[in-house]
Structure 1
Amino acid sequence: MLIIARLPKKDRQNRLVQFLQENPFATDEDLAELFQVSIQTIRLDRLELGIPELRERIKSVAEKNLDPVKSLGIDEVIGDVVDLQLDVQAISVLEIKEEHVFARTQIARGHYIFAQANSLAVAVIDADVALTATARIRFVRPVRLGEKLVAKAVVRNRDGDECKVRVETKVQGELVFTATFRVVGMSNVSTRNI
């Protein structure tokens, strides 16, 4: 992560506003490290500037950018969906907590990382029902307790009811997981027949 040399308060606050416009998912800890100040200083800056805490920023971004999920319930997507444009792209954020890691190593269990990507690939499809047919996945590096996964799904191409969806998951801009899913969408299907 780029670190900004210590700045006077006014300059720091201006840079903080600019940085958060481009990176709304940055935590107070990330910002404190970036600006070389305490977390409390960042919180005071946010309070003075009227910038909400991370959870509120995520909700705000999500409310502006969400199409209604059709293929599954929004609560069935792993992570917080912050952008959804059906048949185009989707973004979700998942913070790795104690329940997501192995106790001894504090490394995230792979099925949570996969589940975030897979559920996002299904959610982005504009169909009543969407199912994963195949997946090619690659874990690039281990993810640790406290890291925030930002997964972005992009629909690459559509051939009838089939879509190829590419998902890249990053931690602070660093690629940690990639997947290409072939997802089949079905409209006007009774879920009792599935």
Structure 2
Amino acid sequence: MDTVCALCERPAHPGSSLRLCLTHLLEAHDEVDAEFGVTDLLPSPCAFCGSRLGVRYPSGWLCAVCEWRVGEPPPDDARTARVDVVYYLRFRDRIKIGTTANPAQRISALPHDEVLAFERGDRLLEHRRHEQFAHLRIPGTEWFETDAALLDHVGLVAAGAPDPWMLLARWRSEAAAVHG
């Protein structure tokens, strides 16, 4: 039985898991790109961390590593106080595992009910966590179904630091002291 697009009378695109014609699939794709960005090479290296990997939004580019907005100069002391973290956010019954050097900016742009924990680490640690919990991953996202193993891990990461923001402040202070 042929299916028709849920939004119009045209045939649904073959092979799509959504009942949408090609036109509506492409419109949905454009909406997702506008909201979540498209990962690509930056036009020039990031002024903050030097990375070439970026995320392009309709409003401009962000570095994919440190999320610095392309075109803005970093503050004079930014490199000395940079701390990469893997963050754990809860939104409804799901948990996001991501990484950033600017949690306040990144997390404010994400739907979430609670900041569960910060773990000091960069994209490599984030990748390890994604592999560790791959069986729970919602395909194509950094969101994971919640289960006991993931909750136990988050509990271990958060142990002794009920406020992740205070922990981040301590890490930034330590980084500034080291670079003095």
**Higher RCO structure, 1 or 2 (CA under 8 Å, sep 6+):** 1
TM-score normalised per structure 1: 0.28
Normalization by structure 2: what TM-score?
Answer: 0.30
Higher strand share: 1
